Amino acid sequence: MRTRSGSLYRSCGGGETAVVGQKRKRSSLPQYAPAGDCCGGGRRKRLAGGPDYLDELPDDLVLAVLSKLAASASSPSDLLSVHLTCKRLNGLGRHDMVFAKASPASLAVKAASWSEPVQRFLKRCADAGNLEACYILGMIRFYCLGNRSGGAALLARAAVGGHAAALYSLAVIQFNGSGGAKSDRDLRAGAALCARAAALGHVDALRELGHCLQDGYGVRRDPAEGRRFLVAANARELTLALAAAATHRPFAALPLAGGTVGGCPLLSDFGWSLPEAEPHPANLFMADWWASRGVQATAKKATGLEAAAAAAATGDSDGGGELRLCSHVRCGRRETRRHEFRRCSVCGAANYCSRACQALDWKRAHKAQCVPMDRWLLAGGEAQ
C-alpha cells in the first residue's frame, strides 16, 4: 500500500500496511523476512503472554548448570553476576550446592577488599561444605583476626575432608604451639598431620617430614627415611614446576640450577632453584594484611607508647609490636606469642615458622644474605 507521501509499507502477512504520518525507514534486510521473524526491522520479539523457557526448566537442571558455573568461576564476580540476572537465578544461586562447588579462584579474596560481607560469603561457602573456603577463612581467622579457636575449628574441618594444605597448616600449629604457650607444643601430633599431608603429595609437608625424620623431631630418628622424603619433595617440586611451565615456556628454558655447589639438586636439602610457585590465596591474603598494617618480618622490641600503638594498629592485645612474621615473604604467618618461630642457626636474623619456609627462603634470598654472627662482631670491632 502506498500513502499520499509516497511511502510503501508491507505487512507481516505479505500484504502492505499504511502508517499515516510516518515514512518507511530504510533497512539493509531482505525484502521478505524469514518465517518466524516479525516485520519490525527483522528483530525477534516475544509476544506478550508467550512462554518463558527459563521458567519451564526444572530446578534440578538449573542448579546443575549453576554448580558448573561456580566450579569454573575465575573470580567472585562471576558468582555475584548470577544473582543480578533475575529473581529465580538469585534464589537458586543461594543454594548450598552452588556454594559447595565454588572454585578456589572465586574464593581468592584480597586483603584490601576485606569486609563483613566478604566474611559472610566465605562463611556461607564453608557451611555448605566447601573445603577451600574452610581453609582460607580458617587461616584468616587464626592468624589475622586473632580468633584462634574459630580458625582452628575451620582448619580441622578442612583437614578431616582431606585438604592437604589444611593438614600441613595444623601440623605447623602443633609444632609451634601457636595460639597457646610453649608447653602446648605437640610434636607427635604435628608429625602425624605432616605425614597425612605428605601422603597427599604436599611438597612442604614432604620436606618438613624429611627433616623431622633426620633430626628425630617428633618421630623416631631415621636419617635414611628422612633423606628419601627430601628426595621425594624435590622430585615432586620439579614435577609441579614442569607442569606449570608446559603452557608458558619450553622445559629447556627452566633454570635447573642446583641447590648445592657440585652436588645433585635431587639429593640436596633444597632441591632445584626453580621459579617459585604461585602462593596459596590464603598466604597472599595474610602477607598483604600484615604489610598494610606495617608489620615486618623482623620486628624490633617496642616499649610504652610504641607497643600500644602497634597493638592498636594490628588489632592485637598481646604485645603486637614484638611479634614477628615468618621471614619467607610469601608465607604470611605471624607469631601468636613472643619467640614462637625458630631463628636461623647461622645468622640469627631470620625466623621461620617451618623448615619448608626456610628452604624456600634460602633459595629465594637468604642464601645471599646469611652472614655468621661472628662476622658481625668482627665488623663491629673494626668499625670502632
pLDDT in tens, 317-341: 454 458 899 999 889 999 999 999 9
Distance CA 165, CA 137 (A): 13
Helices (H), the chain: 53-56, 59-71, 76-83, 87-92, 96-100, 116-127, 131-139, 148-160, 164-176, 187-199, 203-215, 223-245, 281-292, 305-314, 355-361, 367-369, 373-383
Nearest-angstrom CA–CA distance, 319 and 337: 8
C-alpha 269/C-alpha 362 separation (Å) is 10
Q: Which of 165, 175, 176 is nearest to 138 (CA)?
A: 165
Q: Which of 283-292, 306-315, 359-368 has the lowest mean pLDDT?
A: 306-315
Residue length of the chain: 384
Strand partners, 334: 325
In tens, the pLDDT along 87-104 reads 888 888 888 999 999 999
Amino acid at 376: W
pTM, whole model, 2 decimals? 0.75
Taking only the tens place, the pLDDT of each residue in 212-233 is 999 999 999 999 999 999 999 9
3-class secondary structure, 2: strand
Question: What is the domain partition of the chain in residue ranges?
Answer: 281-301+323-375
pLDDT digits (tens, 9 = 90+) for 169-212: 999 999 999 999 999 999 999 999 999 999 999 999 999 999 99
Confidence of residue 117 (pLDDT cuts 50, 70, 90): very high
Q: Are 282 and 135 in contact (CB under 8 A)?
A: yes
Determine contact, residues 198/229, Cβ cutoff 8 Å.
yes
C-alpha torsion angle, residues 227, 358, 280, 130 (rounded to 10) = 60
* C-beta separation of 141 from 147 below 8 A: yes
